[in-house]
């Protein structure tokens, strides 16, 4: 069984370390990571993949993803992050996927012709342009911008999808496109439209057949509505600006997104590490690649062990699916009264009786990059051994929110 094998690999790798490691111990299985990268490339069918950095937050893993043929450029989540990644030489093609109102970071961008040539800002409102203009005396350094186009499904008065950009119709998008082009000091280089209601919703959940069917139907309706709208918008904007890219999608929607001829690149990040929220998609087989190990510290009863900490709950609408999952050895469960705790996490299940004080229990996080906000370094597993230890953003002294 894969989870028992993983347990043996991780524990063997820990035992072989020269010194006992600090816990919690964060680990990435590079064999799984590389297989996931290859599978994303297969699913993208020749469309380049822009790696979503929020879902990794480890520079060495970003570099590793970018080293795979088929990956190109970074979709960053903050301008400060983009400036830092550019400075570190991780990429010279970085699109910040969310609007930035951080004046200090914007001033740094405007002050650096090389950063301004490598980084693209996302805008969906003239207020974003005005803020940039208010920070500069000269417009000698052009600022690259892309427009975020809402990719939600509209059904009557309902909007299904992430509540982000107000730009939905081609009329709204074209008006802002023209405003960008008319302003000195800006270059409109791209469009982005993230169909989170397709990419981020599991559609093959065990025990939820009927719900999964409804989700798949909504996804199909969403993609067909979006395809028509996105093509019209792209054609109209291409008449006023020379677009370098039309970005869309995410790990959960790769093949559906690249089937849209308007799309020139697809974003993906979570599909490299496959946290638990990505376990149940029809389109791909999950290969979990990110884990954290916490030690058993006590035994409250014969069928119970308590591990130190481990309570790394994911962001998003609060629910059981945001909790971490004890993964190896298989068969352990959180208790309903305590869940995953701040400093102590009781676990039940048959392996509990076999675990000794000091043994590691390996967990998976519900989301992808957030896990690495909790640790400074990640041990990289290849085969049965840790072959490297690399800093997370946090370990490099960086926190981007």
We find the least distance from the C-beta atom of residue 322 to ligand PLP, in angstroms, to be: 15
For ligand PLP, the closer of residues 270 and 276 by Cβ is 270
Element (H, E) at 50: strand 49-52
Minimum CB–partner distance for residue 382 and ligand PLP (Å) = 23
Question: Min. distance of Cβ 180 from ligand PLP in angstroms?
Answer: 19
Dist. CA 274–CA 152, nearest whole Å = 24
- Calpha distance 31→398 (Å, rounded): 27
Question: Toward ligand PLP, which CB reaches closer, 9 or 128?
Answer: 128
Which is closer to ligand PLP, CB of 164 or CB of 187?
164
Task: Pick the closer one to ligand PLP by CB: 85 or 110.
Answer: 85
Question: Taking the complex as a whole, how short is the minimal distance between the CB of residue 368 and ligand PLP, in angstroms?
Answer: 6
Report, in Å, the least distance between residue 318 CB and ligand PLP.
Answer: 18
Q: Which residue is nearest to ligand PLP (CB)?
A: 250
Distance CA 66, CA 120 (A): 18
256 vs 268, beta carbon nearer ligand PLP: 268
The C-alpha atoms of residue 54 and residue 277 are separated, in whole angstroms, by 15
Q: Which is nearer to ligand PLP, 106 or 273 (CB)?
A: 273
User: Minimum Å distance from CB 250 to ligand PLP?
Assistant: 3
Q: What share of the chain is helix, strand, coil (3-state, %, to 5)?
A: 40, 25, 40
The pairing of beta strand 325-328 with beta strand 385-391: unpaired
* CA–CA distance, 398 with 85 (Å, rounded to integer): 11
User: By C-beta, is 25 or 95 nearer to ligand PLP?
Assistant: 95
How far are the Cα atoms of 156, 166, 287, 363 from residue 193, in angstroms, in the given order? 21, 12, 27, 33
Minimal distance in Å, beta carbon 194 to ligand PLP? 4
Q: At what angle do helices 126-134 and 103-110 cross, to 10 degrees?
A: 70
SS3 167: coil
Binding site for ligand PLP (CB under 6 A): 52, 55, 75, 97, 194, 199, 250-251, 267-271, 368
Half-sphere exposure of 354 (CA within 13 A, CB side): 9
């Amino acid at each position: 069984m894969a989870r028992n094998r993983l347990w043996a690999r991780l524990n063997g790798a820990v035992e072989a370390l020269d010194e006992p490691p600090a816990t919690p111990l964060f680990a990435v299985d590079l064999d799984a990571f590389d297989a996931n990268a290859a599978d994303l490339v297969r699913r993208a069918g020749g469309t380049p993949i822009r790696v979503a950095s929020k879902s990794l937050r480890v520079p060495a893993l970003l570099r590793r993803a970018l080293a795979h043929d088929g990956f190109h450029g970074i979709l960053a989540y903050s301008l400060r992050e983009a400036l830092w990644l550019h400075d570190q030489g991780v990429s010279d093609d970085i699109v910040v996927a969310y609007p930035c109102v951080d004046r200090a970071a914007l001033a740094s961008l405007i002050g650096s012709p090389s950063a301004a040539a490598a980084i693209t800002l996302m805008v969906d409102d003239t207020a974003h342009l005005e803020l940039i203009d208010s920070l500069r005396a000269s417009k000698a350094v052009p600022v690259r911008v892309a427009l975020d186009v809402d990719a939600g499904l509209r059904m009557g008065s309902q909007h299904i999808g992430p509540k982000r950009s107000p730009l939905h119709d081609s009329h709204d998008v074209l008006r802002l496109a023209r405003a960008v082009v008319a302003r000195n000091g800006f270059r409109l280089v791209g469009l982005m439209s993230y169909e989170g209601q397709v990419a981020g919703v599991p559609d093959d959940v065990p025990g939820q057949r009927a719900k999964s069917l409804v989700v798949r139907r909504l996804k199909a309706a969403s993609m067909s509505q979006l395809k028509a709208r996105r093509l019209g918008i792209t054609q109209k904007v291409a008449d006023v600006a020379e677009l370098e890219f039309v970005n869309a999608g995410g790990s959960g929607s790769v093949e559906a997104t690249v089937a849209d001829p308007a799309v020139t690149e697809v974003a993906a990040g979570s599909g490299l590490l496959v946290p638990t929220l990505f376990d149940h998609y029809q389109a791909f087989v999950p290969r979990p690649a990110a884990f954290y190990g916490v030690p058993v510290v006590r035994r409250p009863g014969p069928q119970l062990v308590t591990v130190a900490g481990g309570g790394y709950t994911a962001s998003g609408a609060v629910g059981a699916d945001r909790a971490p999952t004890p993964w190896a050895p298989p068969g352990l469960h959180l208790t309903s009264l305590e869940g995953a705790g701040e400093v102590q996490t009781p676990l039940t299940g048959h392996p509990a009786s076999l675990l000794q004080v000091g043994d590691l229990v390996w967990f998976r996080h519900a989301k992808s990059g957030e896990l690495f906000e909790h640790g400074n370094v990640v041990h990289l597993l290849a085969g049965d051994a840790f072959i490297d230890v690399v800093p997370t953003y946090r370990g490099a002294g960086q926190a981007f929110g």
